A and B are shown apart, each in its own frame.
Chain A
Amino acid sequence: MKFQSQKIAYWFFAAAMLLLVLQIVYGFIMGFARIGMDGLHDWIPFNTARATHTNLLVFWLLLGFMGSAYFIIPEEADRELMWPKLAWIQLGSFLLVGVVALIGYHVNWWEGRKFLEIPRPLDYLVVVNVLAFLANIGLTVWNGKRYTTTSIVLYFGLLAAALLYLPGMIDFDNQTLDSFYRWWVVHLWVEGVWELIMGALLCYLLIKLTGVDRELVEKWLYIIVGLTFLSGILGTGHHYYYIGAPRYWLMVGGIFSALEPLAFLGMAIYALAMAKKGGRRHPNKAALNWTLGSAIMSFVGAGFLGFAHTLPQVNLWTHGSLVTAMHGHLAFWGAYAMIVLAMVAYVLPIMTGRKLWDNAAAGFAFWLSNIGMVGMTGALAVAGITQVNLERRMGLDFLAVQKEIEVHFIGMLLAASLFLVGIVCFLWNFWRFGLPSDEAVNSDVRAAERDLSRIESTPAAS
């Protein structure tokens, strides 16, 4: 760590970790409700648990992205953050708005639009908050000593994410139009600009961890995010098949959704190729695991499992079933949760000066959480496919089918427990790292890394 102001990232990450735990708790509440243990129904009905679970996910991922930006941007721009104090105010107010929204969900105060449940007055506060964030890192980039592709892509990813939040705030009396523009936010976030952010973080981590030449890594970053937008923008069409939009979306969405896995496949190959080229000699094995894991799991979860139900002929039966929840879990975990955890695993040793990167807890954290998440996805897949066959193909009553698939949620809860153990291991390490220290600024961890990148650096051969 080179600059004092980068330390703010630690607090963004710490807040994100707390919210991750809370997200898991609400996941368990829903899992138990699905096997009939809904004792909390009077206080936390399913719709509250569900909105809280998904919003906590968005909330902690955004905190993770912002924390990453506060760490990366000063370093890439080679200067202190423009307004370090503003970053603190931004963190505090962002948490405050988020917590108020989450409490709101428990007292029936929300907007009731899937993933965008946050009540309208708070929407405006989010906008102000994000503007403060963008101004802070934007001016840091602008006034920096150098402009790097990584920081520019990261900045524009965050800026586009903020702009795309706005269409979700238009009011419509028509449910179809409402839904149409809601997907502008949700889809173009997670299958568009968030991938820009993810790509930039991946690129940064690969440069640091593999020591491969920056020019090469950044060149391929353009290709990857190029492929993402090429498929992802018109891929939005897979949300428009059956909501009352014109029929041509079936063709447009079908074709471009089929291309979406290619972008993720490209990303996975890119990460693995760079790691191979670099020889994987960086001592922070945990961070490298999470980085490569993210690239691979995002291909499996977002690319492959997404494609499993985006063909219109398939989607006619799976649309609105648990198959979507199956895809959603592994996609978000692989693409976004893991890349944030990779950043945390990379940043903590640098910030605290402690080298806790190759211990048992770090290994358990990685493997147990991943195996647990794959297990949860498997349980949801079996439940979803059974639901589709019994309810959509055979026409049995919804509740009768739900009774039939209860057993798979016991499996899901078991897998979720394994996942939780993995996350607890991760947090245990997080705790052991302690707080960021001033001595760590320009510490020997960093020096070692610079040596590594000198030794490993390869000329831009291709």
Chain B
Amino acid sequence: MLSKYQARAFFLGGTAVFAGIFLVLTFDTHRQIPKQTNADQITPQVAAGKKIWEANNCMGCHTLFGEGAYYAPELTKVVERRGKDWIKVFIKDPEAMFPGQRKMVKYDFTDEQIDQIIAFLDWCGKVDLNGFPAEPPLKKLMQPAADTASNAGGELPPAVAATIPLPAMFEQKSCTGCHRILGKGMPGVMLPNAVTGEVVPAPALDLVFQRKTREELIAWISDPQKIKPGSPMPNLVPALVSPQEVEQMVDFLLGLKAHAPAN
């Protein structure tokens, strides 16, 4: 059987061989990574965003490239998923955006810093990650249910919706992060009510004029928690949306009545 000398030779030899292979692969990887990650697009703004990401230990809750702490969402594709406008609004006051839900620290970032973080995440989203994060394969099965739920309010016919310009504020103020309106926005966003735990869909807004009066809509947007405690609808007034902007939004929504097919 094996002698101690042979055992030691096995250990030292094996370690040397595999450490050698590892170093060769590392050398090659180091050479290939710049291309695979679009390193030429790492601008000073992106680099600054990475520094902010690290200085605040964002990975202590979130994951990026799947690495982190699983307490908060994966952010690799967040710019693609939510859009830059939504993220800007969200970072300024995370708890307002998800009332009663899991909390995020409210950092007092400047607009410039927020742009840097978004630039960094945008760069991350474009790195070739060998297929991660994968498109959920069963989403197709879930999609009809999600669409039905979030379109419960009903939509204008696409041909009609395409002719109506959507005021920029609906995207800038993050409405389209959850609601569908005039064919834009996230389909099928469903979040739990923080009080009841019931999962509720964000309804499409095209035909909201059929369901609510002007006063009801203004009261709802101004303080959703007062009307429906625990609702996932964020409380963005007045910090992120001014009362005047609320009125403009409501007037636009009610104005859609003119475009509704007569039936």
Residues of A within 8 A of B (CB): 30, 33-34, 36, 38, 41, 45-48, 50-51, 105, 108, 110-114, 117, 149, 173-180, 215, 218-220, 222-223, 225-227, 229-230, 233-234, 236, 240-250, 252, 316-317, 319-322, 324-325, 391-400, 402-403, 462
Offer 13 A-B interface pairs, CB within 8 angstroms, sorted by A: A112-B58, A219-B7, A222-B7, A222-B8, A223-B7, A223-B10, A226-B7, A244-B129, A246-B28, A317-B134, A393-B138, A394-B142, A395-B142
| Complex-state Cα separation, A110 to B136, whole angstroms | 35
| Complex-state Cα separation, A317 to B135, whole angstroms | 10
**CB-defined contacts of B1 to chain A, threshold 8 Å:** 462
Interface residues of B in 159-182 (CB under 8 A from A): none
Known: A229-B18, A245-B36, A399-B101. A325 touches B189 (CB 8 A): no
Contact of A394 among B28, B72, B105, B138 (CB under 8 A): B138
**5 closest Cβ contacts across the A-B interface?**
A47-B60, A320-B66, A395-B136, A242-B132, A395-B139
Interface of A is mostly: helix
B245 within 8 Å of A (CB atoms)? no
**CB-defined contacts of B210 to chain A, threshold 8 Å:** none
Contact: A112 with B22, CB < 8 Å? no
| Complex-state Cα separation, A113 to B59, whole angstroms | 7
**CB-defined contacts of B132 to chain A, threshold 8 Å:** 241-242, 316, 319
Contact of B25 among A173, A215, A252 (CB under 8 A): A252
Contact: A240 with B29, CB < 8 Å? yes
**CB-defined contacts of A397 to chain B, threshold 8 Å:** 189-191
Contact: B136 with A236, CB < 8 Å? no
Known: A114-B67, A233-B15. A50 touches B142 (CB 8 A): no
| Complex-state Cα separation, A236 to B22, whole angstroms | 9
Known: A219-B4, A222-B11, A399-B102. A176 touches B131 (CB 8 A): no
Report the interface size for chain B: residues with CB under 8 A from the other chain.
Answer: 78
**CB-defined contacts of B39 to chain A, threshold 8 Å:** 174
| Complex-state Cα separation, A218 to B47, whole angstroms | 50
| Complex-state Cα separation, A105 to B56, whole angstroms | 10
CB distance from B19 to the nearest CB of A (A): 6
Contact: B130 with A250, CB < 8 Å? yes
B252 within 8 Å of A (CB atoms)? no
Contact of B142 among A33, A114, A396 (CB under 8 A): A396
CB distance from B229 to the nearest CB of A (A): 15
Contact of A46 among B8, B66, B69, B138 (CB under 8 A): B69
Bitwise interface map of B from 75 to 116 toward A, beta carbon under 8 Å scored 1, else 0 = 000000000000000000000001001110100000000000
**CB-defined contacts of A110 to chain B, threshold 8 Å:** 55, 57
| Complex-state Cα separation, A179 to B59, whole angstroms | 12
**CB-defined contacts of B7 to chain A, threshold 8 Å:** 219-220, 222-223, 226
Contact: A222 with B70, CB < 8 Å? no
**CB-defined contacts of B102 to chain A, threshold 8 Å:** 33, 36, 38, 399, 402
**CB-defined contacts of A219 to chain B, threshold 8 Å:** 2-4, 7
Q: A45-B61, A218-B4 are in contact. List 17 more A-B contacts (CB 8 A).
A: A47-B59, A51-B60, A108-B56, A112-B54, A112-B60, A175-B65, A219-B3, A229-B11, A243-B129, A245-B32, A249-B25, A319-B132, A321-B70, A322-B70, A392-B136, A400-B190, A402-B102
| Complex-state Cα separation, A149 to B5, whole angstroms | 11
Contact: A242 with B57, CB < 8 Å? no
CB distance from A341 to the nearest CB of B (A): 26
Whose C-beta in chain B lies nearest to the C-beta of A318? Answer: B66
**CB-defined contacts of A324 to chain B, threshold 8 Å:** 70
Contact: A246 with B10, CB < 8 Å? no
**CB-defined contacts of B58 to chain A, threshold 8 Å:** 47, 112
Whose C-beta in chain B lies nearest to the C-beta of A184? Answer: B26
Known: A246-B36, A252-B25, A399-B191. A45 touches B59 (CB 8 A): no
**CB-defined contacts of A38 to chain B, threshold 8 Å:** 102-103
Contact: B54 with A241, CB < 8 Å? no
CB distance from A179 to the nearest CB of B (A): 6
CB distance from B69 to the nearest CB of A (A): 5
Whose C-beta in chain A lies nearest to the C-beta of B44? Answer: A173
B137 within 8 Å of A (CB atoms)? yes
Whose C-beta in chain A lies nearest to the C-beta of B192? Answer: A403
Contact of A244 among B33, B55, B120, B134 (CB under 8 A): B33
Known: A316-B131, A393-B137. A114 touches B59 (CB 8 A): yes
Known: A243-B65, A324-B70, A399-B102. A176 touches B37 (CB 8 A): yes
Contact of A233 among B22, B29, B69 (CB under 8 A): B22
| Complex-state Cα separation, A392 to B77, whole angstroms | 14
| Complex-state Cα separation, A399 to B68, whole angstroms | 16
Whose C-beta in chain B lies nearest to the C-beta of A152? Answer: B8
Whose C-beta in chain A lies nearest to the C-beta of B11? Answer: A226
Known: A50-B60, A398-B74. A175 touches B124 (CB 8 A): yes
